[in-house]
Amino acid sequence: MTRQTDMNKENVHAANIKEPTKRITRARAKALGISGDLPPLHPKVKQEFNQVLQPNSKRGPLDNKSTDAGSNFQSKRRAVLKDVTNMPFNDLNLKIISDIKIQTSKQIRTNVAKKNDMVAPTVYVGPQVRIGKTKATQLMTEQSIKELREITSQLKLANDLENEPSIALGSSFPKGETKINQLEGENDQTILDIDSKHKDPLMCSLYAAEVFNNLRVAELKWRPSDNYMKTVQRDITQEMRGILIDWLVEVCEEYGLRAETFYLTVTLIDRYLTKVYIEKQKLQLVGITCMLIASKYEDITAPRVEDFCFITDGTYTRKEVLVMEREVLDELGFYLSVPTVYKFLRRFILAAQSSYKVRVVELEYLANYLAELTLTEYGFLNFLPSLIAASAVFLAKWTLDQIEHPWNPTLEYYTNYKASELKTTVMAMQDMQLNNEASLQAIRQKYKQKQFKSVATLTSQKPVRPLF
């Protein structure tokens, strides 16, 4: 009898439930809010929710795929994401969201109480989980911010290094000296910084000082002998060497080779003649072979071997040029990165131009003209390439402007030469400049052209000797 009574009570409760309780998702709540249809609320069902759950079912009513209570909704389908940012958000929507939050919270508390229930609990992120995730997110954000700050600091350091003045040759800036545009030298003389505002990556402004320090060391190591005509060579003379180099000037103009190629060619010839004895019949072969090597090293497109054979009127064959090329490279150890006068000249001209408000093109052409004149003279092997470059800038400035002294603290700072140390070289260079009856005229004719501002015709009205 008692059992029958219990069964009747259960039937009464089951009859009072018109439809199973459904989990209302955010998508459904949004859809309900837009359409204006409210889900049927059953307070009695929510109070007796624990009795409605079926412990023996494999799937809970929350996962049931049956038809929803709303007449406008069918079976669940994956919706297409649409732009809902402009949809109205009125009081009705706020009420629906509030009811959903209350219902969902009650369902969570009920599912947690039923530990042995087979129904899968609703996935919900509780306050503790949210706090944990929030902390983890904060940690990740802080780590990202820290890395971003490190990257930013490195970029700022690189920019600062780019704007800081470079270290001069063989010296360093005083402690605490952070001036960019100018430096204070001895006796309060202003030294202009030629690297602070130079943005050309080819000039290597950030480490130009270190590069030229290495060049100053290398020019002592790889300089050719200044008396190989007496110690090594017996069949050729200084005049033969000068004629060869004067002819190579015309070859460079014929094939449009760069100035670096010409300077490197002369250096390779002197270095090879310092070590190997040759006969005068092969002197021209050594010349074109060294120019072939230099053009491969300095120019983008080097002339062919046949071109050099043609320029000698077929005096040498292709095979002879290739054999000589192998001998020269083997004898020099394939070491071609040697400092020439031109490497120092570009840096020193930049330092000289810093004292002018407008770039003086004639200064560059005249300095290059004077430097090239020294290549034909065997006696200039006594001087280092850096000394010749500094002397060419000195004499070029004096030729163009005889009002003020050509040497200033900036040039002395970057060349590491005082004016008194240039006296011998400048005097010998001026003698060549004033010698209009010289037998070797290729370089003079080259710089008499209008494209070089005819600087070969310029001479100083005053002697340079009183400057020292």
CA-wise closest residue to 409 among 460, 361, 352, 357: 352
Residue 194 contacts residue 351 (beta carbons within 8 Å):
yes
pLDDT of residue 17: 46
Give the class (CATH, top level) of 223-332.
mainly alpha
What single letter denotes the amino acid at residue 216? R
Tens digit of each residue's pLDDT (9 = 90 or more) over 232-265: 999 999 999 999 999 999 999 999 999 999 999 9
pLDDT over 80 (residue 354) = yes
| Angle, vertex CA 402, rays to CA 400 and CA 404, nearest 5 | 115
pLDDT over 50 (residue 324) = yes
User: How many CB atoms are located within 10 Å of the residue 42 CB?
Assistant: 16
pLDDT of residue 97: 54
Tens digit of each residue's pLDDT (9 = 90 or more) over 182-225: 554 444 468 888 887 767 777 778 888 888 989 999 999 999 99
pLDDT over 80 (residue 69) = no
CATH code at 341-467: 1.10.472.10
- Residue 59 neighbours by CB under 8 Å, 6+ apart: 119, 120
Residue 246's φ and ψ, nearest 5 degrees, are: -65, -35
pLDDT band at 164 (very low <50, low <70, confident <90, very high): very low
Helices (H), 299-340: 305-311, 318-332
pLDDT of residue 394: 96
The DSSP H or E segment spanning 183 is: strand 182-184
Q: What is the percentage of the chain residues whose pLDDT exceeds 70?
A: 59
Least confident segment among 182-186, 265-269, 446-450: 182-186
Do 223-332 and 341-467 fold alike per CATH? yes
Per-domain boundaries in the chain: 2-113, 223-332, 341-467
Residue 66's φ and ψ, nearest 5 degrees, are: -75, 175
The overall average pLDDT reported for the chain is: 75
The string over 168-206, giving b where at least 16 C-beta atoms fall within 10 Å of a residue's C-beta and e elsewhere, is bbeeebeeeeeeeeebebeeeeebbbbbbebeeeeeebe
Segment 443-453 shows an average pLDDT of 94
Secondary structure class of 247 (helix, strand, coil): helix
Residue 49's φ and ψ, nearest 5 degrees, are: -65, -35
DSSP type of residue 302: P
Helices (H), 333-448: 341-353, 361-375, 385-400, 409-415, 423-434, 442-446
Is the whole model's pTM more than 0.85, yes or no? Answer: no
By 3-state DSSP, what share of the chain in percent is helix, strand and coil, each rounded to 5?
A: 60, 0, 40
- In DSSP notation, 103-143 reads HHHHHHHHHHH-TT--SPPPP---HHHHHHHHHHHHHHHHH
pLDDT of residue 19: 46
CA-wise closest residue to 123 among 27, 20, 21, 25: 25
